[in-house]
Amino acid sequence: MREFIIADNQDITKAGMMFLLSKQKDTSLLLEADNKAELIQQLRLHPAAVVILDYTLFDFSGAEELIVLHERFKETDWLLFSDELSIPFLRQVLFSSMAFGVILKDNSKEEILTALQCTSRKERFICNHASNLLLSGRNASSPAHPAIKDNLLTPAERSILKEIALGKTTKEIAADRNLSFHTVNSHRKNIFRKLGVNNAHEATKYAMKAGIVDLVEYYI
């Protein structure tokens, strides 16, 4: 029997994962973490849990910080569960430890269930899409971040990236612009994909390097 920590701050995703896990016979306890601080607190209490983590929604500084967190809690098993993860990130994390597995949010229900079952048994699971990306060798020689280019993002994407870098949430950006959450979230995903980053912290570093936001604005 395993304890599960769902580390994700999207309510609909958490609800769906809670439902799937509640049907599993080997689930002893279901816990939630909406941010990195809550995740660490849960790991202190349940160091041998399975963590289902959407890395892109948490403020990790990079793959190295996630790897260090696993080193701190060596009995933890991790299932990375995101919309999209960059190939350099996948290579670094998956090659660091067999404790990390990957499933994407647009995978089938059957593949997600298989991933949960394998991780619960301490068996690594990597979904077909992530496996194909890793085996194809695409971007193997690419840097973790693309060169800074002015035309990489559209004007609207640059504007939204600036607001992300200044700490605004997707809900706040949507409200300020009179847009739906879904529209802003789609922009966010496109920005991260174009920049080759996985979360807001990495996007902020890019924004500062590209001059989209400066230090004065960032620290006001």
For the chain, the domain total comes to 2
pLDDT in tens, the chain (220 residues): 899 999 999 899 999 999 999 888 888 899 999 999 999 999 999 999 999 999 988 888 888 999 999 999 999 999 999 988 888 899 899 999 999 999 999 999 999 999 999 999 999 999 998 888 787 754 444 444 445 555 788 989 999 998 988 888 889 999 999 999 999 999 998 998 888 888 888 888 888 788 887 644 444 4
Judge if 132 and 35 occupy the same domain. Answer: yes
Output the furthest CA–CA distance in the chain (Å, rounded). 53
The answer to the question of residue 215 being in a domain is no
User: Taken in order 99, 108, 8, 218, is the CA torsion positive or negative?
Assistant: positive
Q: Is residue 98 part of a domain?
A: yes
pLDDT at 84: 83
CATH of the domain at 43: 3.40.50.2300
Instruction: Return the pLDDT at 112.
Output: 95
Residue 129 buriedness (CB in 10 A; 0-12 / 13-18 / 19+): middle
The residue out of 137, 163, 197 marking a domain boundary is 137
Considering the domain architecture, whether residues 122 and 182 belong to the same structural domain is answered as: no
Q: Which of 78, 108, 137 is the last residue before a domain boundary? A: 137
In this structure, the answer to whether residues 6 and 111 fall within a common structural domain is: yes
Q: Are residues 18 and 72 located together in one domain of the fold?
A: yes
Contact partners, residue 10, CB within 8 Å, separation at least 6: 54, 57
What local confidence, expressed as pLDDT, does residue 141 receive?
42
CATH number for the domain spanning 171: value is: 1.10.10.10
Instruction: Characterise 84 by phi-psi region: left (phi > 0), alpha (psi -120 to 50), beta (else).
Output: beta
Cβ neighbour number for residue 109 with a 10 Å cutoff: 9
User: Contact, 213 vs 220, CB < 8 A?
Assistant: no
Alpha-carbon span 114 to 175, nearest angstrom? 38
This prediction has a pTM of: 0.70
Closest by CA position to 55, among listed 80, 72, 88: 80
- Domain of residue 39 covers 2-137
- If asked whether residues 133 and 160 sit together in one domain, one would say no
Length of the chain: 220
One domain for residues 196 and 111: no
Helix (H, G, I), strand (E, B) or coil at 32: strand
Provide the token pair at 21. Answer: 């896990």
Please indicate, yes or no, whether residues 94 and 28 belong to a single structural domain of this protein. yes
Specify the pLDDT at position 140: 41
Last-in-domain residue among 102, 137, 172 = 137
> What's residue 175's pLDDT?
93
Q: Report if residue 220 sits inside a domain.
A: no
